Amino acid sequence: MTAPRPCPGILDIAPYIPGRAEAESDGPVYKLSSNESPLGASPRAKEAFRHVADNLEYYPDGSAWELRDALAGLHGLNPDRIICGNGSDELLELLAHAYLAPGDEAIYSQYGFLVYPIAIKSNGAAPVIAPEKNLTADVDAILERAGERTKIVFLANPNNPTGTYLPFDEVKRLHAGLPETCLLVLDAAYAEYVRRNDYEAGIELVSGAENVVMTRTFSKAYGLAGLRLGWLYGPENVVDVLNRVRGPFNVNAAAIAAGVAAVKDADFLRQAVEHNDKWLPWLSGEMQKLGLEVTPSIGNFLLVHFPDEDGKRAPDADKFLGRRGLILRAMGAYGFPNALRVSVGTEEANRLLIKALAEFLEKR
């Protein structure tokens, strides 16, 4: 008896495994594994979400017009060049679906987001990995690998899980060196947190090019990860293509309503960013005082490297912290078997984490 067979290459894809949500602890649990906002969602967004419950029998607006209009107003964009999705993950997958085919190639950096190879392989194309320099995307390495078969370059900026970034001049140099037939995808999921004068999320580059798109998300600074909401800004030709292949109601009504309310609650977003401004450097500094190596980050998370010593490695720390209700993200799938990624948490969670790490390193 034979079973249905998937398309060639599908079974070669390693499934994406999200951050754990449970810990072996009888006490409180602090989930610091998924880069979620420690402040949660805007009260206005929560109220908008609840209001939708009175009208669940209706389909959502298939074009998400109100949300696109709110985003356009916030960022000074043309709403016709915005498309919304079920998280930015869906938009990345739609781009791969629309622009990749067997025989094509797509490039991403060595420690880039794990969704990229999944999207590439699931459309029969070949992933090409560009080595990084100092845990940062290397423009020259990407350009050396770009050719006639290259149809997409995925660039997470800032990058997850390293937290490093490319300044705007380097992004422009990358774009200038790519073939005009290649689509540059700027994944700016953490843009709201960035406080660097030499950074630009992608709006300026997209506004003047036909082969650049920028993706953004509501899952991080806006605290709406549970609703799965993202958006893309791109040239008219790309937006037209994506509207032809996306589902007719790919964003649900509750997500649209909460997203509109979140965009309009500028004060709450400011609080979320200021919380990160305070606690990201604090966590980094306290970990370094404990003798841990921390990759400098401009996101809302840190990549923490542990000593290569018996009893002090990252898996040991992960188990130790988990028993105390502190859930971090193991990084073996990204090529960092001796590192953990930690999201910025509440003040309580951050202080408990440092206390637990000190105990872990002292006892061993």
pLDDT digits (tens, 9 = 90+) for 129-138: 999 999 999 9
Which of 202, 229, 264 delimits the end of a domain?
Answer: 264
- The token pair at 352 is 């408990």
Model pLDDT, residue 328: 98
pLDDT score of 163 more than 70: yes
Percent of residues, the chain, with pLDDT higher than 90: 91
CATH at residue 229? 3.40.640.10
Residues 228 and 308 reside in one and the same domain: no
Do residues 61 and 120 both lie within one domain?
yes
Same domain, 255 and 338: no
Q: Is residue 11 one of the residues assigned to a domain?
A: no
What confidence tens digit (pLDDT) does each residue in 91-115 have?
999 999 999 999 999 999 999 999 9
Structure tokens at 139: 């423009």
Query: How much is the pLDDT for 86?
Result: 97
Arithmetic mean of pLDDT, 306-317? 96
Residue 12 binned pLDDT confidence (cut-offs 50, 70, 90): confident
pLDDT digits (tens, 9 = 90+) for 52-87: 999 999 999 999 999 999 999 999 999 999 999 999
Residue with tokens 């025989």: 103
Is the pLDDT confidence value at 1 over 70? no
CA dist., res. 16 & res. 173, Å (int): 31
CA distance 244 to 173: 31
* Domain membership flag for residue 283: yes
Q: Please report, for the domain that includes residue 289, its CATH number.
A: 3.90.1150.10
Boundary residue ending a domain (264, 285, 312): 264
Q: Are residues 298 and 244 in the same domain?
A: no
Same domain, 75 and 106: yes
Q: Is residue 197 part of a domain?
A: yes
Note whether residue 7 is domain-resident. Answer: no
Q: Does residue 1 belong to any structural domain of this protein?
A: no
Q: What is the mean pLDDT of residues 207-236?
A: 97
Number of domains in the chain: 2
In a domain, 166, yes or no: yes
> 228-239: per-residue pLDDT in tens?
999 999 999 999
State the average pLDDT over residues 243-251.
96
Tell me the C-alpha to C-alpha distance, in Å, between residue 192 and each of 45, 115, 320.
17, 21, 32
Q: How confident is the model at residue 15 (pLDDT cuts 50, 70, 90)?
A: confident
Taking 60 as the threshold, does the pLDDT of residue 364 lie above it? no
**Residues 271, 139 within the same domain:** no
- Give the neighbor-by-neighbor strand order of the sheet with 82-85: 82-85, 230-233, 212-217, 183-187, 150-156, 105-109, 126-130
Looking at the fold, whether 176 and 320 belong to one and the same domain comes out as no
Residue 23: predicted pLDDT = 65
Whether residues 173 and 212 share a domain: the answer is: yes
Where residue 320 falls (left for φ over 0; alpha for ψ -120 to 50; beta otherwise) is: alpha
CB 151 within 8 A of CB 106: yes
The per-residue pLDDT for 4 is 85
Using pLDDT thresholds of 50, 70 and 90, give the confidence band for residue 315.
very high
Do residue 259 and residue 299 come from a single domain? Answer: no
Strands 126-130 and 105-109, by their bridges, are parallel
pLDDT of residue 21: 65
Q: In this predicted structure, what is the pLDDT of residue 25?
A: 66
Cα 249–Cα 251–Cα 254 angle in degrees, nearest 5: 115
For residue 283, give the nearest of 307, 306, 305, 302 by alpha carbon: 302
pLDDT of residue 10: 84
Render pLDDT for 277-309 as a digit per residue (tens, 0 to 9).
999 999 999 999 999 999 999 999 999 999 999
Domain co-membership, 196 together with 330: no
- Tell me which of 217, 242, 264 is where a domain ends: 264
Domain limits for position 57: 43-264
What does pTM read for this prediction?
Answer: 0.94
Are residues 153 and 72 both part of a single domain? Answer: yes
Would you say residue 4 lies in a domain?
no
Does 3 map to a domain?
no
- Looking at every residue in the chain, the average pLDDT score rounds to 95
* 289-316 burial code (b ≥16 CB/10 A, e <16): eeebebbbbbbbbbbbbbbeeeebbbeb
pLDDT digits (tens, 9 = 90+) for 332-354: 999 999 999 999 999 999 999 99
pLDDT higher than threshold 70 for residue 270: yes
Q: Quick one: what percent of the chain has pLDDT higher than 70?
A: 98
Predicted local distance difference test score (pLDDT) of residue 87? 96
In this structure, the answer to whether residues 33 and 55 fall within a common structural domain is: no
SS (H, E, C) the chain: CCCCCCCCCHHHCCCCCCCCCCCCCCCCCEECCCCCCCCCCCHHHHHHHHHHHHHCCCCCCCCCHHHHHHHHHHHCCCHHHEEEECHHHHHHHHHHHHHCCCCCEEEEECCCCCHHHHHHHCCCCEEEEECCECCECCHHHHHHHCCCCEEEEEEECCCCCCCCCCCHHHHHHHHHHCCCCCEEEEECCCHHHCCCCCCCCCHHHHHCCCCEEEEEECCCCCCCHHHCCEEEECCHHHHHHHHHHCCCCCCCHHHHHHHHHHHHCHHHHHHHHHHHHHHHHHHHHHHHHCCCEEECCCCCEEEEECCCCCCCCHHHHHHHHHCCCEECEECHHHCCCCEEEEECCCHHHHHHHHHHHHHHHHHC
Residues with Cβ within 8 Å of residue 296, at least 6 apart in sequence: 163, 164, 284
